[in-house]
Amino acid sequence: MVSSEAAGGLPARLPLLREHAGRRERVVDEHMFRVGDDSGPTFRVQVFIASGLRPVAVVTQLDNEGMSLTNGAERYAAAVWKRYLPAELLPPIWIARQLMTYGTSEIQKDHGFKHVEFEVTGHGELVAHWGPILNVDEMSQLVGGPVDSTRGAGYIRREREEDPTYRFVPMSVLWLARPRPFREKACMATGTPWWRRLGRQLVRRRTAQTCCWYHGGDWHKVSTVAIDLVDRAYVAGVPHEDVADFAFAQVDRSSLTDWEVEAVYSLLAFPIDPGRGRWPRNRGYVNGQHRAQAMLDAGVRRTLVERLEQT
Element containing residue 28 per DSSP (H, E): strand 25-34
Distance between CA atoms of residues 167 and 165, nearest Å: 7
Q: Domain spans of the chain?
A: 15-143, 166-308
What tens digit of pLDDT does each residue of 279-288 get? 445 455 667 8
Nearest 5 degrees, angle CA 154-CA 35-CA 25? 55
Q: How far apart are CA 139 and CA 134, in angstroms?
A: 6
CB-CB contact of 267 with 304 (8 Å): yes
The per-residue pLDDT of the chain, averaged, comes to: 83
Q: Please tell me the predicted confidence (pLDDT) of residue 35.
A: 93
**Count helices and strands in the chain by DSSP H and E runs:** 8, 9
Nearest one of 289, 6, 297 to 144, comparing CA atoms:
6
pLDDT in tens, 112-142: 899 999 999 877 789 888 888 999 999 999 9
Please state, in angstroms and rounded to a whole number, the distance separating the CA atoms of residues 115 and 265.
Answer: 24
β-strand partners of 44? 60
Provide the residue type at 22 as one letter: G
For residue 84, what pLDDT is reported?
Answer: 98
Q: Give me the mean pLDDT over the 35-55 stretch.
A: 94
Return the pLDDT at 7: 38
* pLDDT value at residue 237: 93
Query: Is residue 111's pLDDT more than 70?
Result: yes
Residue 110 reports pLDDT greater than 60: yes
Q: Give the residue from 51, 97, 59, 50 showing the smallest Cα distance to 81.
A: 59
Burial 112-151 (b: 16+ CB within 10 A, else e): bbbbbebeeeeeeebebebbeebeeebbbbbbbbebebeb
The percent of residues above 70 in pLDDT, for the chain, comes to 77
Residue 291 phi/psi, 5° resolution?
-65, -40
CA distance 187 to 190: 8
What percent of the chain shows pLDDT beyond 90? 47
Backbone angles phi, psi at 174, to 5 degrees: -55, -30
What distance in Å separates the CA atoms of residue 27 and residue 83, rounded to the nearest whole number?
13
What pLDDT is recorded for position 286?
64
CA dist list (Å): 23 to 26, 54, 94, 263? 10, 11, 16, 38
pLDDT for position 280: 47
Q: Give the distance, in angstroms, between the CA of residue 273 and the centroid of all CA atoms in the same chain.
A: 15
Confidence of residue 3 (pLDDT cuts 50, 70, 90): very low
Rounded Cα gap, residues 207 and 187, in angstroms: 15
Number of Cβ within 10 Å of residue 290's Cβ equals 22
Q: Give whole-number Cα distances, 202 to 87, 150, 198, 224, in Å.
A: 55, 47, 7, 18
Lowest-pLDDT range, 10-24, 146-160, 230-244, 280-294? 280-294
List, for residues 176-209, the tens digit of each pLDDT value.
877 765 556 666 655 566 556 665 666 656 666 7
Count of CB atoms situated within 10 Å of the CB of 104: 11
The answer to whether the CB of 171 falls within 8 A of the CB of 279 is no
Q: How confident is the model at residue 49 (pLDDT cuts 50, 70, 90)?
A: very high
Does the pLDDT value for residue 226 go beyond 80? yes
Residue 297: predicted pLDDT: 84
Local confidence band at 213 (pLDDT 50, 70, 90 cut-offs): confident
Upstream peptide bond of 280 is cis (omega within 30 degrees of 0):
yes
Confidence of residue 292 (pLDDT cuts 50, 70, 90): confident
